[in-house]
Structure 1
């Protein structure tokens, strides 16, 4: 193998390796992301209809997310939904027993559920969650707390895999272009014109 061929072969090997590693990293991170996300989805035990309620136990300092069924809602209709969370195991709940609800900005659907609201309780106990809104046939569910920050490392891994794939493809293209240029025949020799006889 000539010294010129050796760098070109190395370029192909590097490009193929980067592409393969990038694909594997992106796929593995995507699978882990999907599994972890699915595990936070609501169960049938804590799903309820419009103008209905469910009761859940939340540990002290714990957080939960209220989901809406994506079969009936989208991000536009979610803006019409109103929910309340009230301490249920106290005969006279105070304002402190009514956790603040924050609208979720993590709009990636989890199975058939989309995060709508999240809340954090100060004291552990049993809480009643009630929701209403449009459309009337919406379903709600209570699942584990979910935010984009919880999956930052997985999202970063997916992005890294995509970058490696792009770098690998770019390396393959650059190597192919250099090889095509090296194999191009040299231009014909240009001889100086002969001088006319004196």
Structure 2
């Protein structure tokens, strides 16, 4: 019995071991976004991020090799993904659903402060340009799905300029919320959806 107990003790993880915990990682993500929104990416301090999360700086460097790597993984984990848009039966209904879902994402106060800074950093840094491009692709994926459905229904032609269409779908809402800093009402979003739908049909 004593020998068995001794074996179990040997198998225990030492109390001082650095074991990454999911809850600490999430706390670091949240602290990073708060720091980014408050200071701007160029002024992000990893020491302050660690302090916000109640951790030591070593907790960051055990997980990420650089501030850019930290930003990329944080955005991937907790960033700007939108849920898949279900088939609402028509192009305009799908566009309306897309814009309402995007409005939810863009209403978050951290998102509204981080996105403009991310675009500015992308103009200066190839690493941040790559991150900006990945975020844009995530936002465009649901739009690509609704265009495919519209083509299958016969509402749009297969020859549609998809890249231009994907630029058009979020443009008025993104401009209003991120560039101008205003939040449109549900009635205004519905009106935007009608205008975007008309534009998509005009592209055809």
What TM-score do the two structures reach when normalised by structure 2? 0.24
Q: Normalising by structure 1, report the TM-score.
A: 0.25
- Structure with higher helix content: 2
- Of structures 1 and 2, the one scoring higher in RCO (CA 8 A, sep 6+) is 1
In our comparison, the structure showing a higher alpha carbon Rg is: 1
